[in-house]
Structure 1
């Protein structure tokens, strides 16, 4: 099967979780012996995909505004000229009207439509997502939770939505130590964007409660800087809080493996890759019992109320002070993380493509 992928988002400098997931799906699809993958995007992505055909006709600027214009005007014609069997749009960026090529669009979640991003991002997604969804033959999403959200917010028949779980890189599952990163000796770790829906304020408030009784622990927060599409929020370094910024996968693995506990009390997730990655690296996880996280993480973490900083702090302290409990969480985490591979994700996606 010849698969075209809208790779417009792949050229961003610091890809977030949804874009990283899309890139991993592209690589896994191309590794199969029953596919030919063509990427439609800026020529700069050839460095990340040297063995794949990258079609970048008319893509003259890496700016986001131009990329959006390009995918609305040039992409449909390019997909047709390349004679692909299906056009996969992994970041909610399908053509706004039906085209000659069968289209599958992935909607990770509807956080922007629920006003969890900036006003301009809300307006853009509110204007484009319904049309993209209606023009596609099939919609995919990453969890049963997101499927219900999409059905509710966009009034789509759930029979036209297929769940394709994300996976994690095999790199996290192997025994390697990762690449050393300058971090405190003892620390609590958060990984993700500095987006208020990730409950950054709740993390900070709970750490302020915790640090008086467990002053040997620092808080490490890893992730890209706050982008304009998110509501304004900044976290600055202090004596007790370390923010390395965006790091390589090798450095991230090191951070996961050496953390005392991984803290992820997010308010809203469509899937939630970081806690699964932390589990794969043998780190006990604390997560919020909300949105997709109970579905994706099952019984592997300790759960907290994301609205209650004291609950987050007390649960974190319980894990840190109880080696037996910590070991049990690590064991359950390994089992849960092993369920999510990009090979499985690509296989499920191929099942969807074959229905067209």
Structure 2
């Protein structure tokens, strides 16, 4: 009997399961582990997950675990496992390679550092990224935009696949009692990391032109950018903006469920998870036309061509009227968002694994 092929997947980011790459690692790992018996019996593949020690067993008993304390991640490349494939789940991964792995697959979500960093910081980020590209054999991108952006800036010629992220359907996770009692009805909603690239300050300025609407902004308010926004709201006594910190998954679902619309004027996205989460509730979403957002939002999303606060307010009022007048619009949004689901995503990764390993389906 031929020896089993070993695929190692770094899933360490599940320590933050509901944030970006943590959610990606959690959902991919969960669904791969559910198919572990199939992969072993049909294709001779064994799955190994790199995780913190306290997460041993997280993906069940049909897979293997390489448990690694955070302090030892620096020497992880020399872990003595002769893997046939090492999957690195995102471009900023702390484990850059496995020395004994025959092939490596890198998933690239974005190259936002190109737009966010300057001078020496940018040079360091570019060199670090080039180093990771030089160590990999295959690439997956989470969007056409992420692929195009990376190849244009770094002239990457490696074998590739575009595999869209799944987006978890939260529409059955809401609990009305988790909605803060002080929130008004028919509120507009934004949730993000509240970093400069999210352009949240434009939403604050826009609300001056929307006195009959209210806006809920949720996220982590610890960054300097977020603190400045909070100060602007307070100093200008803007009374139609409500602030929420670090909401739970259930609270987030409830905010999607009861909001009037979701707003996301981001400057820079490799994918754009929150707009799709909102669309799965049938909610209208308003997006910038930048980077990946038109690709992800598709034809059913509304777009701000002009990111000046007054024009944004005008577009919002006009398009909300269009949404309200179209009884089928919620179903159209839900159908559009259904393109992005984790089962499809994992199906495509399994096909890519088999292709890389030279195994016929």
1:127 aligned residue: 127
1:143 aligned residue: 143
| Residue correspondences, number | 332
Distance 1:322 1:254 in 2: 24
Q: 1:308 to 1:4 in 2, by over 3 A?
A: same
- Aligned to 2:193, the other structure's residue is in SS state coil
TM-score by length of 1: 0.83
Deviation sequence 1:291-313 (CA, Å, 0-9, x none): 11111121111111263222221
1:28 aligned residue: 31
Larger CA Rg, structure 1 vs 2: 2
**Pairs within 5 Å for 1:47-58:** 49=59, 51=61, 53-57=64-68
In structure 2, list runs of 5 or more residues that go unmatched: 40-45, 357-361
Distance 1:219 1:119 in 2: 36
Is the CA contact 1:168–1:276 (under 8 Å) kept in the aligned structure 2? yes
Structure 1 residue 121, shift from structure 2 partner: 6.9
1:7 aligned residue: 11
Distance 1:321 1:186 in 2: 13
Distance 1:16 1:120 in 2: 28
Distance 1:176 1:115 in 2: 35
Distance 2:58 2:287 in 1: 32
2:334 aligned residue: 334
In structure 1, list runs of 5 or more residues that go unmatched: none
1:312 aligned residue: 312
**Pairs within 5 Å for 1:142-291:** 142-157=142-157, 160-172=159-171, 175=172, 177-178=174-175, 180-182=178-180, 183-211=183-211, 214=212, 217-226=213-222, 232-234=225-227, 235-236=229-230, 239-291=239-291
Distance 1:119 1:353 in 2: 38
Distance 1:184 1:72 in 2: 49
Structure 1 residue 146, shift from structure 2 partner: 0.6
Is the CA contact 2:194–2:225 (under 8 Å) kept in the aligned structure 1? no
Q: 1:331 to 1:199 in 2, by over 3 A?
A: same
- Aligned to 1:355, the other structure's residue is in SS state helix
Is the CA contact 1:320–1:326 (under 8 Å) kept in the aligned structure 2? no
Deviation sequence 1:167-207 (CA, Å, 0-9, x none): 111444xx454462214322100121101111112221212
Distance 2:117 2:281 in 1: 30
Q: RMSD of the alignment, in Å?
A: 2.8
Q: 1:73 to 1:11 in 2, by over 3 A?
A: same
- Aligned to 2:188, the other structure's residue is in SS state strand
Q: 1:119 to 1:275 in 2, by over 3 A?
A: farther
Q: 1:209 to 1:46 in 2, by over 3 A?
A: farther
- Aligned to 1:207, the other structure's residue is in SS state helix
- Aligned to 1:165, the other structure's residue is in SS state coil
- Aligned to 1:354, the other structure's residue is in SS state helix
When structure 1 is superposed on structure 2, of 270-279 and 243-252 the one drifting more is 243-252
Q: Equivalent of 1:73, from 75, 86, 109?
A: 75
When structure 1 is superposed on structure 2, of 28-37 and 345-354 the one drifting more is 28-37
Structure 1 residue 266, shift from structure 2 partner: 1.2
Deviation sequence 1:235-284 (CA, Å, 0-9, x none): 42753222222222222111101000111111111111111110101211
Structure 1 residue 106, shift from structure 2 partner: 1.0
Distance 1:208 1:44 in 2: 48
Structure 1 residue 354, shift from structure 2 partner: 1.6
